[in-house]
Amino acid sequence: MEPEAKYESKAGDWRNYKRVLLPPVKDLQKLDVYRANGGYEALRSVLIDEKWDPKSVTEEVKASGLKGRGGASFPTGLKWSFMPPVKPGAPRFLCCNGDESEPGTYKDRQLLEYNPHLVFEGILIANYAMSIDVCYLYVRGEYADWITHIEKALADAYAAGLLGKNILGTDFSTEIVIHKGAGAYICGEETSLMESLEGKRAYPRIKPPFPAQRGLWGHPTTINNVETLACVPLIISNGSDWYAAIGAKNHTGPMLYGLAGHINRPGIFEYPSGMLISDLIYEVGGGMRGGKKLKAVVPGGSSVPPMRADQIEGVTMDGDSLRQAGSMLGTAGMLVLDEYTDMVTFLRRITHFYAHESCGQCTPCREGTGWLVDIVTRIDEGGGNLRDLDLLIDLCDGMEGRTVCALADAAAWPVRWTVTRFREEFEAKCRDSVFAIA
C-alpha cells in the first residue's frame, strides 16, 4: 500500500541516487580497494595542489553547507573557523566523535565498518584545515569488534605513509589515536568526551569557555561527528557546489538514515537529505511490518519529540521541516512504531534509558530522570493517577534548559511530547488504575 505522491521530496530524484558515503564497492574497508576507487585523492589534492591552503579548505566546507551529523546540526565550516590562530608550540586537537549510543542511532558504526578510510581521510583534511597534529577517534566501547576493524585499517594507513610524519612526502604530519569508550552515553556529549579522554570522570563542562578556546587539556579543540568528517573528502573532491546541490537547501548533502522499529526492512540507508518521512517508511523501509498502521515516528534518535502518524504528512528529514512539525532531526535515526505499540511502555523504556545514563552532575537531571521513570513505571503498571500527567509536564519544565549539558533536555522532550501527543493512552491507563481520580 503505497501512498500517493502528493508531497514533494526535497531529496529530488532519490530513487536514482548514487551512494557516496557507503558506495556499493566490495571490500572498501581495505586500503587498496579504497585507493583504487579514488581514495585519499582528496587528501593528496589538499596537500599538494597550490589551490588549497587551510583557509580555503575551511571556506570550501563552509560553502558546502555541511551541518554536523551528530545531532545538533551545527554548521561544520563555521565551527572550524572558531579555532584561534595557531600559536607555535601550543597543541591543538580534533576529536572525532564515534560514541553514538542513542537508541535508534547506529550510522557511525556502518561507516567505520564499511568505509573507515573515508573517515580517516576526512580527519586528515580537517587536521590540515585547522593545523592540528593529533585527532582522537573516540569510539563507543561496546563497538569492540568494530574497533578491531578500524585499528587494522588505521595500521594499514600508517604503513602506507598516509598518517604519521610527512604524509605523502609533504611536511604535513598528523596522528590519529583510537580511544575506546567505557560504555557511557554521556561521553557522546562533546565536553564530557574531552573529560573522558583526559582520563577523568565524564562530567560535561560548563560553556563558555567553548572547546575551541579551551578544550582537551586546556588547548583549542574541535569535536566533529564521524559522519560529518566522512563528508569532507567528498566536498574536496567534488566541490562545494556539487555537495550543496544534494538534498534539502538548508541541510545539504548525503545523509545516513537509520530505520528501526516496526518496519519490514530496518537498517542504515544513504540518501540525500530532505527525504519525506513517508518515503522512508513505505518505500525505503519496505512499509509497516505485518501491514499494521503507523502510530508514531521518532525521527532522530530517542531524544527528539515523537510525532503522531498524522503529523508526518509532507514532513521531510531536514532541520527546518521537522522543527516546523514539532520535532527535530537529531541524528536521523528513525524509530517507527505501529498501532499495537503501548506508548506508556515505550516511554517507560525511554525514561529508563535516560535515568540510567544521566551522569548525575546536575541536580535537575540526576533527580529528575529518576523521578520521571518512577512515575511512568507506576502508570504503566496500573497504579497511576491522572494528576501524574501534569506532574510529568511540570518536572520537564524544571529540567529543560536548567543543566550544564543537554541530557536533561534530551530526557525531558520525549516525556513532554509523548504525554502531550498521546495523552489519551496515558489517561486510559490512569483511569484503569484503582487510584484514578476521575
Partner 1 sequence: MPTVYIDNEPFEFEPGAKVLQFCLDMGLVLPHFCYHPAMSIPANCRQCLVKAGMPAKNRETGQVETDDNGDPIINFFPKLQTSCSLDLADGMVVLTQRTSEEVAGAQEDNLEFLLINHPLDCPICDQAGHCPLQNQAYKFGPEGSRFEFEKVHKPKRVQLGPRVTLDAERCINCTRCTRFTEEISGSNQLTIINRGVTNFPTTPPGTTFDEPYSMNVIDICPVGALTSTDFRFKARVWETSQTASISVHSSKGVNVDYWVRDNLIVQIVPRQNQAVNKYWMADEDRLDYRRFNDDRPQNGPEVRSGDGSLVPAEWTDAIEAVAALLSETGKGKLLFLGSAHATVEDNYLLMRLAELTGNAAPVFLSHVVEGSGDGQLVTDDKAPNAAGCRALGMAEVSPAELKSHVAKADVVYVLEDDPVAAGAISTDDLAGKAVVLHYHRTTNHLLTHARVALPAAMAVETVGTMVNVDGIAQRLRPAKAIRSVNRSLVMEMGTSRPDRHGTPFDRWYNESHKIDCRPSWDLLQEIAEKAGLDLRFKSPSAIMNDIAGKVAAFDSVTYDTMGFGGARLTTDVSTGAS
Q: Which residues bind partner 1 (CB under 8 A)?
A: 184, 186, 201, 203, 206, 355-364, 366-371, 374-375, 378, 391, 397-398, 401-404
Rounded to a whole number of angstroms, the minimum distance from the CB of residue 351 to partner 1 is 12
Q: What are phi and psi of 32, to 5 degrees?
A: -65, -35
* Nearest of 249, 313, 305, 250 to residue 281 by alpha carbon: 313
Please check whether residue 221 is in contact with residue 215, taking contact to mean a CB–CB distance below 8 angstroms.
yes
Report the residue number, 228 or 369, with the smaller CB distance to partner 1.
369
Residue 6 beta carbon to partner 1: minimum distance, rounded to whole angstroms? 37
Query: Alpha-carbon distance 83 to 160, whole Å?
Result: 30
Helix (H) and strand (E) counts for the chain? Answer: 17, 11
- Distance of alpha carbon 436 from alpha carbon 199, whole angstroms: 49
**Minimum CB distance to partner 1 smaller for 10 or for 378:** 378
The least CB distance from residue 396 to partner 1, in Å, is 11
**Nearest CB to partner 1, comparing residues 3 and 401:** 401
Q: Is 205 helix (H, G, I), strand (E, B) or coil?
A: coil
Which is nearer to partner 1, 110 or 403 (by Cβ)? 403
Distance CA 159, CA 162 (A): 8
- State the chain's maximal CA–CA distance in angstroms: 77
Compare residues 320 and 409 and give the one whose CB is closer to partner 1.
Answer: 409
Residue placing its CB nearer to partner 1 in the complex, 112 or 399 = 399
Q: Is the dihedral of CA 309, 353, 340, 435 positive or negative?
A: negative
Q: Which of 371, 373, 369, 374 is nearest to 358 (CA)?
A: 369
* Residue 198 and residue 216 in contact, taking contact as beta carbons nearer than 8 Å: yes
- 374 vs 235: CA distance, rounded Å: 48
CB of 438 to partner 1, least distance (A): 19
Q: Considering the complex, what minimum distance in angstroms separates the CB of residue 219 from partner 1? A: 18
Q: How far is the CB of 391 from partner 1 (least distance, A)?
A: 6
Nearer to partner 1, 51 or 356 (CB): 356
Q: Provide the minimum distance between the beta carbon of 182 and partner 1 in the complex, in angstroms, as a whole number.
A: 11
